[in-house]
Amino acid sequence: EAGVVQSPRYKIIEKKQPVAFWCNPISGHNTLYWYRQNLGQGPELLIRYENEEAVDDSQLPKDRFSAERLKGVDSTLKIQPAELGDSAVYLCASSLVSYTGELFFGEGSRLTVL
């Protein structure tokens, strides 16, 4: 079974440029998460989807970040315009709607903003 797939793995951009990250969750997983992981820190939740509905986006900086999950499968996270402080690894995870707590993570997209 394929795991969570993310792309691109690495992205280097100039500040004020836009960037987008894509995530394909494990087939059948209703819940999808975007986390941001700063260097040397634990992941912090940006947004959580239940199917196509964003049920928790309280930590998403909505002035520059946006996300969508069309048809409740793939998801895209966009930053426009990027700032130096956005340099981080953006992790996508998915899970079944359950109380087991196991999230399945992708390998992440490392963003460097110059």
Partner 1 sequence: AQTVTQSQPEMSVQEAETVTLSCTYDTSESDYYLFWYKQPPSRQMILVIRQEAYKQQNATENRFSVNFQKAAKSFSLKISDSQLGDAAMYFCAYRSDMEYGNKLVFGAGTILRVKS
Question: Minimal CA–CA distance to 92: which of 35, 21, 50?
Answer: 35
What is the closest distance, in whole angstroms, from the C-beta atom of residue 16 to partner 1 in the complex?
A: 27
Closer residue to partner 1 (CB): 56 or 68: 56
Return the residue of 1, 14, 40, 84 that touches partner 1, per CB under 8 A.
40
By CB atoms closer than 10 A (0-12, 13-18, 19+), residue 7 is middle
Return the residue of 48, 60, 79, 113 that touches partner 1, per CB under 8 A.
48
25 forms part of the interface with partner 1 (CB under 8 A): no
Torsion of CA 62, 66, 97, 104, to 10 degrees: -110
Q: Measured at the alpha carbon of residue 78, what is the angle toward residues 95 and 39, in degrees to the nearest 5?
A: 70
Using CB under 8 A as the binding criterion, the count of chain residues that bind partner 1 stands at 28
Phi, psi (rounded to 5 degrees) for 83:
-120, 165
| Site of tokens 């987008």 | 20
Interface of this chain with partner 1, residues 78 to 107, rule: CB under 8 A: 89, 91, 93, 95, 97-103, 105-107
Contacts with partner 1 by CB under 8 A lie at: 3, 31, 33, 40-45, 48, 50, 55-56, 89, 91, 93, 95, 97-103, 105-108
